[in-house]
Amino acid sequence: MHRPPPTLQLADLETGKHPAQRRLILEELLAHNLSMLALRAGAQRYHAQPLSTNNILKDKLLASLPFKPTSAQARW
Protein backbone atom coordinates (compact mmCIF):
# COMPACT_ATOMS: atom_id res chain seq x y z
CA MET A 1 0.00 0.00 0.00
CA HIS A 2 1.41 3.36 -1.04
CA ARG A 3 -0.47 5.57 1.41
CA PRO A 4 -2.01 3.54 4.19
CA PRO A 5 -4.53 5.38 6.34
CA PRO A 6 -3.40 6.26 9.86
CA THR A 7 -6.11 4.00 11.28
CA LEU A 8 -4.62 0.94 9.57
CA GLN A 9 -3.95 -1.97 11.89
CA LEU A 10 -0.44 -3.31 11.29
CA ALA A 11 -1.62 -6.81 12.24
CA ASP A 12 -3.99 -6.81 9.24
CA LEU A 13 -1.07 -6.18 6.89
CA GLU A 14 1.16 -8.74 8.56
CA THR A 15 -1.46 -11.47 8.28
CA GLY A 16 -2.52 -10.52 4.75
CA LYS A 17 -6.09 -9.87 5.80
CA HIS A 18 -6.35 -6.23 4.81
CA PRO A 19 -9.03 -5.70 2.12
CA ALA A 20 -6.49 -4.13 -0.26
CA GLN A 21 -4.24 -7.19 0.02
CA ARG A 22 -7.17 -9.54 -0.49
CA ARG A 23 -8.24 -7.60 -3.56
CA LEU A 24 -4.69 -7.76 -4.98
CA ILE A 25 -4.56 -11.51 -4.34
CA LEU A 26 -7.90 -11.99 -6.08
CA GLU A 27 -6.80 -9.90 -9.07
CA GLU A 28 -3.56 -11.88 -9.38
CA LEU A 29 -5.38 -15.22 -9.23
CA LEU A 30 -7.93 -14.05 -11.77
CA ALA A 31 -5.20 -12.83 -14.13
CA HIS A 32 -3.35 -16.14 -13.77
CA ASN A 33 -6.49 -18.19 -14.44
CA LEU A 34 -7.38 -16.10 -17.48
CA SER A 35 -3.89 -16.46 -18.92
CA MET A 36 -3.98 -20.23 -18.36
CA LEU A 37 -7.35 -20.45 -20.11
CA ALA A 38 -5.98 -18.46 -23.04
CA LEU A 39 -2.94 -20.73 -23.30
CA ARG A 40 -5.10 -23.83 -23.14
CA ALA A 41 -7.45 -22.49 -25.81
CA GLY A 42 -4.50 -21.66 -28.03
CA ALA A 43 -3.00 -25.11 -27.62
CA GLN A 44 -6.29 -26.79 -28.53
CA ARG A 45 -6.32 -25.01 -31.89
CA TYR A 46 -3.37 -27.04 -33.09
CA HIS A 47 -3.60 -30.73 -33.75
CA ALA A 48 -0.57 -32.90 -34.31
CA GLN A 49 -0.37 -34.78 -37.56
CA PRO A 50 -0.04 -38.53 -37.05
CA LEU A 51 3.27 -39.95 -38.20
CA SER A 52 3.26 -42.86 -40.57
CA THR A 53 5.07 -45.91 -39.26
CA ASN A 54 7.74 -47.76 -41.12
CA ASN A 55 7.59 -51.33 -39.85
CA ILE A 56 10.76 -52.34 -41.70
CA LEU A 57 12.83 -49.73 -39.84
CA LYS A 58 11.09 -50.53 -36.57
CA ASP A 59 11.79 -54.25 -36.94
CA LYS A 60 15.44 -53.53 -37.83
CA LEU A 61 15.83 -51.35 -34.78
CA LEU A 62 14.27 -53.90 -32.45
CA ALA A 63 16.41 -56.69 -33.92
CA SER A 64 19.60 -54.67 -33.38
CA LEU A 65 18.98 -54.11 -29.68
CA PRO A 66 21.24 -56.11 -27.35
CA PHE A 67 18.31 -56.71 -24.99
CA LYS A 68 14.69 -57.78 -25.16
CA PRO A 69 12.33 -54.79 -24.96
CA THR A 70 9.89 -54.64 -22.07
CA SER A 71 6.22 -55.24 -22.80
CA ALA A 72 5.58 -51.48 -22.65
CA GLN A 73 8.38 -50.85 -25.14
CA ALA A 74 7.13 -53.62 -27.41
CA ARG A 75 3.69 -51.97 -27.62
CA TRP A 76 5.31 -48.96 -29.28
Predicted local distance difference test score (pLDDT) of residue 46:
84
Residue predicted with more confidence, 34 or 49: 34
pLDDT at 44 over 70: yes
**Inside any domain, residue 14:** yes
Contact 13, 21 (CB under 8 A): yes
Predicted model pTM: 0.50
Q: What range defines the domain where residue 24 resides? A: 9-46
How many domains does the structure of the chain reveal?
1
Cα separation, 14 vs 8, whole angstroms: 11
Contact 24, 16 (CB under 8 A): no
Predicted local distance difference test score (pLDDT) of residue 16:
85
pLDDT at 58 over 90: no
**Inside any domain, residue 26:** yes
**Inside any domain, residue 19:** yes
pLDDT at 17 over 70: yes
**Inside any domain, residue 20:** yes
